[in-house]
Structure 1
């Protein structure tokens, strides 16, 4: 099913013949597009590349630390074996269900050699850069294959999709959501399923593609599959396509059956772990009403855009990473004009494609608004479509605002079609060219903002920590690892990346259940206990608690539960907005545990389970 125009099954992946002869050697142009995509991806991440080991993404230090941990876990799997979808290395003693988190398993294994050689900091930036570049290039290939024979139009639309404001926003820490190449790849294989003469092979390939996509970006794969299914159904129900759809239905369904078998076999264990494994949970750890699109956000500009750099920014998103729409008014006006122009000049078959696109775009637009209409930051009492979906399985695990990312692909198709029509004939179209500049220039991306984070202590880098913990034992930095104090998780990750001895940690930044011993709703991080909250409160707010022997008894019980053998405090500790209150943490630890010993560049407190901390008169 070609998006541009229906074709015979023998040429199901080819667009309509171009008006002018195509170049016989397209690869130089393809290479040029790939290099330009890589250059633009490097530009977006450039400030982080200046010092990968000290620079962190300013708007999402915690998520960067989590993904660095996951990349290091790939090295652990290769060196020590283990379960790719469950770990007891953090959140001791309960562990973490990685299948229910964004564990990017394929990346972790594939890039393990680079992680061992250069560290997860470099691997994180490499994957982030390649994700952005690969997304633009994959969309270019998809558009050139299925939408337009005009390579310039395909490239323009591909770059729009790869570097759309929503995906640049997710470059603030999300290796899963920047994997935008998954969507065009899955859609490519879905449209190839119309070649019913090869239904078995196509079903096998699509099944493997879905398994790979699930292991990298399960939420994005769900959106892609849902959008693809809605498009196919809407296209097939159009009167002009019904006979063709009816003829292809049998083998198309058979191919999808093969896909289900292959994907089901490959994903049987991770799906079991995701939905029924230990430490799983229902829903998500985030407030879905908070992470819904504001109606005005579609007309606004994202933080990392030229328009925002010129002073046209806003505060309509839940945070900088979730600016998932933010297309800007000029682009929406241009796309509306393009859609009207395409509709008026289209025949019935082309209109069936445009109608299906509009249905997909309208549906995902409504879902992205969440359960209640929000305008200019104020939530109304008007219920929307998502109010009916928010408790439905799969929908309950996704954030509504992210559904707006599907509009990027819909807009890309319209942009490619319109650009081919306006520029493909060779006649000058200055008004359209001006419209493109006015619409696309304001959303051109700016480089990600970075901030300094604390360097790895020599105590960890030199392996001195091994003298203070038994093999596979538990040791923790202070404060205990959390999304707002991720240093402790980073030190463990960097140790894993070297492939040698490892230690385990309490707490950590992950998604888990909000209740012990039974499946609960999702929450961020471990269930808080009195002792870890004591240190975190000191680090975040500089708060000094007035400790007594009851607090020390509670700490003994907590240390016993975790099996902690030692605690250490580096010279610098950092959080999401810079340095934390280190002196308050040191004072709290000393009051609780007594004087520390200075080792390399950290303070160390040894813990004797069941004995420390000692009550004081």
Structure 2
């Protein structure tokens, strides 16, 4: 199943260099690639590193706040114990099913010391930088081991995979999707399953790998497993490989059995929580038809690319974070030419590998287009494959456009093979090198945009809040936390990261069921209530409601349900595009709750259980 390029006759006739100098050169090259990948990762995230505490990814402030919360929850788990896959710190009193969210459990635990030392803001940027660099390096190692002996070709293709437009786009807040190193690691362990002499060991290692991958990027792991399975089946069904496949089949399946046992044991509880635990849900909280690829997006350029800087931008994606393809026309032409060149010069075994790659690429391309063909931002009536898959379990919990990310790996393998082939020619022609420049320079990444966000109030940082709430009591910033107003969830996260006294909050940014007290379809955040909507509407739009006694009675009931003991309003509140309407929130809160106390740099309203706000 290896696609490694065979040694040419000319190179085989040359005496092999001494083992020690060759190994030294290899490790030096490995180190050079690793440092270059780390430098490029730091460059992409550089604007955020200038001020980790007040700079947030401009395109996805809410998701960054969510992941900072999850990283802080890792500190909570180490100091206070608890369930890694369910919490009652958010969405009081119902709680949140973290297994059904992107809870990056391994990262949260592994980086907990850094989170305590430097804060979740620094941990977030550290993981984001390492994810981008590690993805490029992991693909380089995979390609140099299984695809080509030409380390330069493997490095070039590895950097394309790690910093492809789709993954740079997901660097806008997604620690799960930027964990692109999971795919080459899983594929490496899958290809090692061909070693029938060590089937048990390989099966056990693959099982542990899958468990780790699930806890970081379950959706990406599903894509990788699906792509790997399609490739293996397509490769094995090729006539030239059937004999080898039949020979390896018994031990291969036995190894997969060991994988299933290990992965099943490690993931039994998380899988139960994901599919049947409290506050789980069906599908996703997003419109799958909206998050489908436009056919023209494959030919377009991403927002954070040199081509976009030169004016070749577009609005073909659902948002800037979901620009999952955007390879650009030159790269697609180069991939097509590369496949033709490789096919013409391949033997039957190599053609079987190329055919399997094309089947994987074609299948995931088709799925990424969603249930209806979309062209130039217009949805047509032409049904596609995903129309049959959108209600199938697992497929219903993934966004179609993201399937295009699998093409990054397919294209990376093709680039490595084609670059190696062009370099091994007796009389190398410059046309392929020119093609690489024309195709890859336009998609070279630019640093992520950043946006200012409110600094942590002294009321929270200095622990003054502890005077207004009992142990594990409920206190909330205004407006109540949600993806478009996530400051309140950030303040809770920063408190958890200090491993001291904690508080709980109503609402929050997460995915949960759309039915109160029962499993339903997914939605963003808690089910809205009159009181939280009252404050959110004021914050987002500056809307001032004409409150009456019925509104106050509703607020009293909501406060009792949440068990809120105090509300506070910082001097600055921020949302996804900048400052929110703080004055409107203050007027609304004062009208509803009476005059506040000025404490440090916040306004505080105490909530007495059972007391109507008008009596304050």
- TM exceeding 0.5: yes
Partner of 1:160: 160
State the Cα distance separating 1:18 from its structure 2 match.
8.7
Partner of 1:455: 455
Partner of 2:72: 72
Relative distance call for 1:17 and 1:431 in structure 2 (3 A) is closer
| 1:145-294 → structure 2 map (5 Å cutoff) | 145-294=145-294
Relative distance call for 1:231 and 1:56 in structure 2 (3 A) is same
Alpha-carbon contact 1:282-1:520 (below 8 Å) kept? yes
Distance 1:110 1:444 in 2: 31
Alpha-carbon contact 1:556-1:613 (below 8 Å) kept? yes
**Aligned partner of residue 178 in structure 2, secondary structure:** coil
Partner of 2:542: 542
Distance 2:188 2:432 in 1: 29
Partner of 1:105: 105
Distance 1:423 1:235 in 2: 26
Partner of 1:568: 568
Alpha-carbon contact 1:138-1:181 (below 8 Å) kept? yes
**TM-superposition CA deviations, 1:387-414 (whole Å, max 9, x none):** 0000000000000000000000000000
Partner of 2:363: 363
**Aligned partner of residue 475 in structure 1, secondary structure:** strand
Alpha-carbon contact 1:479-1:485 (below 8 Å) kept? yes
Alpha-carbon contact 1:150-1:424 (below 8 Å) kept? no
Alpha-carbon contact 1:549-1:615 (below 8 Å) kept? no
Alpha-carbon contact 1:18-1:150 (below 8 Å) kept? no
Partner of 2:501: 501
Alpha-carbon contact 2:196-2:251 (below 8 Å) kept? yes
Matched, 1:383 2:383: yes
State the Cα distance separating 1:17 from its structure 2 match.
7.1
Distance 1:544 1:33 in 2: 57
Distance 1:79 1:141 in 2: 37
Distance 1:16 1:111 in 2: 43
Partner of 2:480: 480
Distance 2:611 2:65 in 1: 33
Distance 2:245 2:237 in 1: 8
Partner of 2:307: 307
Alpha-carbon contact 1:17-1:149 (below 8 Å) kept? no
Distance 1:351 1:610 in 2: 75
Relative distance call for 1:16 and 1:110 in structure 2 (3 A) is farther
Partner of 1:8: none
**Aligned partner of residue 448 in structure 1, secondary structure:** coil
State the Cα distance separating 1:518 from its structure 2 match.
1.0
**Aligned partner of residue 226 in structure 1, secondary structure:** helix
State the Cα distance separating 1:303 from its structure 2 match.
0.1
Alpha-carbon contact 2:453-2:574 (below 8 Å) kept? yes
Distance 2:527 2:256 in 1: 42
Distance 1:361 1:481 in 2: 40
Partner of 1:318: 318
Partner of 1:10: none
Matched, 1:610 2:574: no
Paired residues in the alignment total 607
State the Cα distance separating 1:614 from its structure 2 match.
2.3
**Aligned partner of residue 505 in structure 1, secondary structure:** coil
State the Cα distance separating 1:425 from its structure 2 match.
4.1
Q: After TM superposition, which residue ranges in structure 1, 4 or more long, deviate above 2 angstroms?
A: 15-25, 424-429
Which runs of 5 or more residues in structure 2 are unaligned?
Answer: none
State the Cα distance separating 1:612 from its structure 2 match.
3.7
Partner of 1:418: 418
Partner of 1:528: 528
Matched, 1:298 2:325: no
Distance 2:113 2:309 in 1: 38
Distance 1:131 1:320 in 2: 19
Distance 2:581 2:10 in 1: 67
Provide TM-score, normalisation by structure 1. Answer: 0.97
Alpha-carbon contact 2:166-2:323 (below 8 Å) kept? yes
**TM-superposition CA deviations, 1:451-474 (whole Å, max 9, x none):** 100000000000000000000000
State the Cα distance separating 1:19 from its structure 2 match.
5.7
Partner of 2:47: 47
**Aligned partner of residue 312 in structure 1, secondary structure:** coil
State the Cα distance separating 1:427 from its structure 2 match.
4.0
Distance 2:150 2:9 in 1: 7
Distance 1:294 1:612 in 2: 53
**Aligned partner of residue 605 in structure 1, secondary structure:** strand
State the Cα distance separating 1:610 from its structure 2 match.
1.1
**Aligned partner of residue 584 in structure 2, secondary structure:** helix
Distance 2:211 2:152 in 1: 32
State the Cα distance separating 1:195 from its structure 2 match.
0.3
| 1:29-48 → structure 2 map (5 Å cutoff) | 29-48=29-48
**Aligned partner of residue 374 in structure 1, secondary structure:** strand
Alpha-carbon contact 2:4-2:149 (below 8 Å) kept? no
Relative distance call for 1:120 and 1:336 in structure 2 (3 A) is same
**Aligned partner of residue 614 in structure 2, secondary structure:** coil
**TM-superposition CA deviations, 1:287-342 (whole Å, max 9, x none):** 00000000000000000000001000000000000000000000000110000000
Alpha-carbon contact 1:4-1:16 (below 8 Å) kept? no
Matched, 1:333 2:333: yes
**TM-superposition CA deviations, 1:207-228 (whole Å, max 9, x none):** 0000000000000000000000
Partner of 2:578: 578
Which runs of 5 or more residues in structure 1 are unaligned?
Answer: 6-14
Distance 1:426 1:510 in 2: 58
Relative distance call for 1:465 and 1:19 in structure 2 (3 A) is farther
Partner of 2:394: 394
Distance 1:430 1:197 in 2: 44
**Aligned partner of residue 605 in structure 2, secondary structure:** strand
